[in-house]
Structure 1
Amino acid sequence: MQHGITSEDIYNFDETGFAMGLVATAKVVTRAEMTGKPFLVQPGNREWATSIECINSTGWALPPCIIFKGTVHIKGWYQDKALPKDWRIEVSDNGWTTDQIGTRWLQNTFIPATNGHMTGKYRLLILDGHGSHLTPQVDEMYIQHDIIPICMPAHSSHLLQPLDVGCFAPLKWAYGCLVENKARQNFNHIDKLDFLEAYPQARSEVFKPETIKNSFAASGLVPFDPERVLEKLNIQLKTPTPPGSRSTDSAPKTPHNLRKSRHLQSKSF
């Protein structure tokens, strides 16, 4: 590859979100004379947790960064035995990533975790065009640490981003199964501690070497194979119809009377 980048130096990172709060998705309100679709009332007390994930094309994943809604860190989060020691937790006003969190993730997670795995001078980081990925501070860190960011075109991550192609959907499914199991045990609310207990288990079921490698392959990245993506697009190539001849005398004409017949005969001699 260009810049001497090998598959060992290719990474993809993105965020994915999880809803916490009441386990039930909706309450159904109905009445005896109702004939149409029941009216749904969504329960309140919902919170959002975000996980920043990053994977390498050779089949391993960096420690994630969990973002909770809040203003301070809670000591109990770090006392949970289910939480791996190398995981990072951040807080924001709504549980989403921010420019500052994106910068700290790059500085405190990505760079230290990948320094020992470099086989060449550069690291290739595949990402979407979210604003927190492309701030001036982040751009400066890319330059200082020889990181080459590749931003995917808008609305293409479901085809081009390995995390979206092969990891996030089974991750959501695995986490959902764990939440359903809690519901069967009469748990009706998922809080931050419950999330920190369930998410590591769901993640370990999905972020396996074979799954990660298959995700990069399905994206056409490693090994490089654009046809893996192009064959998923609904594109039909049409052969253009050649334009008709502009000469009025090239096509044979059938005379409709004796006078026209004699006229055509005189032109052929």
Structure 2
Amino acid sequence: MDEYQILPENTYDMDEKGFLLGKITKSKRVFPKDLKASEKLLGASQDGPREFITVVATICADGTALPPLLIYDSTSGSIQDSWVQDFNSNEHDAWFTSSPNGWTSDEIGFKWLEALFEKHTQDKARRDWRLLFVDGHGSHVTLKFLEWAQQHKLLVAVYPPHSTHTLQPLDVGCLAPLATYYSQLLEQQTRLSEG
């Protein structure tokens, strides 16, 4: 950081967290060992719908945050009106997209970098270098992603494999507790609605 004179206001941490939407229960199921090993069950051990959404969050060392990116599960590639009907763009700033599985991809990762990250960090950085910490997900370390970053005075630092649950501030302090609270709230709502 000293070599590039990177200031806290130009230091960012980005992470993504996936959420299954809908009913969650912890029913136990018994499957033949060979069927389970063949991976043909693909979610059969989970009750309820299997809709998935990914939240991509980015924080800055100066305490600010970039608008989140929400990636919806949509095979058509479009956002349904019902997904964003309660979103008020006058009160909140967020970006929305979709993928066939609700996960990030190389294309979505690059669009996030080029459109969202750059838009919300370039003025603050002026002509200074920026630093972005990411996990090792493939969409954050493509050649296109890294070359673009270098050309725009952005250093990309990748956390060591299997360490983000202890090292990454967004994972440890925000997204993991959010996922826990979300699961608890879903279970509570399910119990209340089932009487």
| Same fold, judged at TM 0.5 (above) | yes
Distance 1:27 1:80 in 2: 35
Matched with 2:11 is 10
Matched with 1:22 is 23
> Structure 1 residue 60 and structure 2 residue 94: aligned?
no
Distance 1:76 1:116 in 2: 34
RMSD over aligned CA atoms reads 2.5
Give 4+ residue runs of structure 1 displaced > 6 Å after superposition: none
**Kept in 1: contact 2:25–2:187 (CA 8 A):** no
Matched with 1:124 is 131
Matched with 2:85 is 79
Matched residue SS, 1:100: helix
Q: Which amino acid aligns with 1:17?
A: G
> Structure 1 residue 157 and structure 2 residue 158: aligned?
no
TM alignment of 1:45-194, pairs within 5 A: 45-70=49-74, 71=76, 72-81=78-87, 85-118=92-125, 121-186=128-193
Larger Rg: 1
Distance 1:81 1:155 in 2: 34
Identity of aligned residues (%): 40
Q: How many residues align?
A: 177
Q: Report the TM-score when normalising by structure 1.
A: 0.59
Shift of residue 141, structure 1, vs aligned partner: 1.6
**Kept in 2: contact 1:6–1:119 (CA 8 A):** no
Q: Report the TM-score when normalising by structure 2.
A: 0.79
Distance 1:9 1:187 in 2: 49
**Kept in 1: contact 2:24–2:48 (CA 8 A):** no
Shift of residue 118, structure 1, vs aligned partner: 1.8
Matched with 1:217 is none
Q: Which amino acid aligns with 2:104?
A: T
Shift of the 79–10 alpha-carbon distance from structure 1 to 2, 3 Å rule, reads same
Shift of the 187–125 alpha-carbon distance from structure 1 to 2, 3 Å rule, reads farther
Matched residue SS, 2:124: coil
Distance 2:182 2:105 in 1: 24
TM alignment of 1:172-251, pairs within 5 A: 172-186=179-193
Shift of residue 116, structure 1, vs aligned partner: 2.6
Shift of residue 27, structure 1, vs aligned partner: 6.2
Tell me which of the two structures has the higher relative contact order, counting C-alpha pairs closer than 8 angstroms and 6 or more residues apart.
Answer: 2
Shift of the 177–22 alpha-carbon distance from structure 1 to 2, 3 Å rule, reads closer
Shift of the 174–45 alpha-carbon distance from structure 1 to 2, 3 Å rule, reads closer
